[in-house]
Amino acid sequence: MDAAQLRALQAPLKQRYRDEPGSACATMSAEADFSAPGITATVQTWSGPVRAGLHPSTGGDGSDACSGDMLLQALLACAGVTMRSVATAMGVDVRSARLTARGEMDARGTLGVSRETPVGFGSITVDAELDTDADDATLTRLGELTERYCVVAQTLARPPHLTVRRAGGSGS
């Protein structure tokens, strides 16, 4: 896909969203259950169910997916699609790319060992190795726009209000 094809694809959407801002709001959802044994949650994904469990630093044996890794994977999925879209719109030819994400977590927080230790990632870094002839200024701009328009990156940078609640079912 080139820049003209991308613009043609997105132009009617952008116009509709300008004319009817409410139509731009999309509800996304995910589902999980406790169908597998142990301290796990089975998450329904596009490629089938994935059993998530404890990370080895919190008592897991490494045989289940880790939700922290899944978060980094979601970040790379979004950053990768966003980067390709932005590169296409800018007319930057990227022959190939390798993206990696790394997050630092101190397990003392989630295990309740230290109340002073935050729960979650303290920092996350995304590295992009690109095979391209683009100059440094263009690549800097590509990185800035990717960060700006990546939904997952912006959600992590400016966390939304999160509510965990009981919905339906039985019990007290």
Which single residue is written with the structure tokens 């920092």?
123
Class of the CATH domain delimited by 66-157: alpha beta
Which single residue is written with the structure tokens 């328009």?
149
Q: Is the pLDDT of residue 172 over 70?
A: no
pLDDT tens-digit profile of 85-124? 999 999 999 999 999 999 999 999 999 999 999 999 999 9
Its pTM stands at 0.90
pLDDT tens-digit profile of 21-31? 999 999 999 99
> Do residues 65 and 50 make contact, with C-beta atoms less than 8 angstroms apart?
yes
**Percentage of the chain surpassing pLDDT 70?**
98
Provide the β-strand partners of residue 51: 42
Rounded-to-integer distance, Cα 114 and Cα 65, Å: 25
Q: What is the mean pLDDT of residues 31-36?
A: 96
pLDDT tens-digit profile of 144-157? 999 999 999 999 99
Instruction: With residue 43 as reference, give the H or E element that holds it.
Output: strand 40-45
- The domains of the chain are located at 66-157
SS3 category, 10: helix
> Do residues 36 and 51 make contact, with C-beta atoms less than 8 angstroms apart?
yes
